[in-house]
Amino acid sequence: MRTETTVIREKTAADTEACVALLRRVHARDGYPLYLPPDDEAGFLRPDHQRAAWVAEQGGRIVGHVALHCPRENPTLSAAAAATGLPVDRLALVARLFTAPEVRRQGLGRALLRHATARAPELGRRAVLDVGQRLPTAVALYESEGWSRAGELRISLNESTVLDLWVYVSP
């Protein structure tokens, strides 16, 4: 996306600090991610299986983030594989989507989602994702883009943290 003031471009290592700062604000305000590892926020934003990531920038300020992840094994990918009939290695997870609270409802989240979704076929993959069942705003975005709910998951991260997720597949 490129308007007068907003650019979506590939994320670089130099963006790490700004992305972590934005993620902290989103976590405090929206409860996303449901679990943010306190000692490894940067790692949360750049896991080894991240194949591509983009940021949205306005006047030199990072105001949004999205990534494509291709882990070899993952419960969301397994559920999406069962729903689509595609093998896991033909799927990519749209992940780490968030926008700055002060730019919400201006189309940026939709633009980032479309950007990542459109890149998945270039990797020979179909975009899928999971979303916390307690994140109705994100669910509304995915459904308004024609994504289909393909399953649900309950993942226990540790004794006190359980994630209830919907699995969605791109149109």
Ligand X SMILES: CC(C)(COP(=O)(O)OP(=O)(O)OC[C@H]1O[C@@H](n2cnc3c(N)ncnc32)[C@H](O)[C@@H]1OP(=O)(O)O)[C@@H](O)C(=O)NCCC(=O)NCCS
Output the smallest distance, CB 63 to ligand X, in A. 9
Interface with ligand X, residue 99, by CB under 6 A: yes
By CB under 6 A, name the one of 28, 137, 157, 164 that touches ligand X: 137
| Token couple for 10 | 């590939």
Cα separation, 91 vs 167, in Å, equals 13
Output the smallest distance, CB 81 to ligand X, in A. 19
Please spell the DSSP secondary structure of 122-162, one letter per residue: GGT-EEEEEEETT-HHHHHHHHHTT-EEEEEEEEEEETTEE
Cα separation, 43 vs 16, in Å, equals 10
Cα separation, 54 vs 112, in Å, equals 8
By CB under 6 A, name the one of 141, 153, 155, 163 that touches ligand X: 141
CB distance 153 to 75 below 8 Å: yes
Window of 6-14, 46-54, 134-142, 147-155 that interacts with ligand X by CB under 6 A: 134-142
Window of 8-16, 40-48, 82-90, 133-141 that interacts with ligand X by CB under 6 A: 133-141
Interface with ligand X, residue 107, by CB under 6 A: yes
By CB under 6 A, name the one of 30, 34, 88, 148 that touches ligand X: 30
Q: What are the beta bridge partners of residue 61?
A: 58
Q: Which is nearer to ligand X, 59 or 87 (CB)?
A: 59
Chain positions contacting ligand X, by CB under 6 A: 26, 30, 32, 97-99, 104-110, 131, 135, 137-138, 140-141, 144
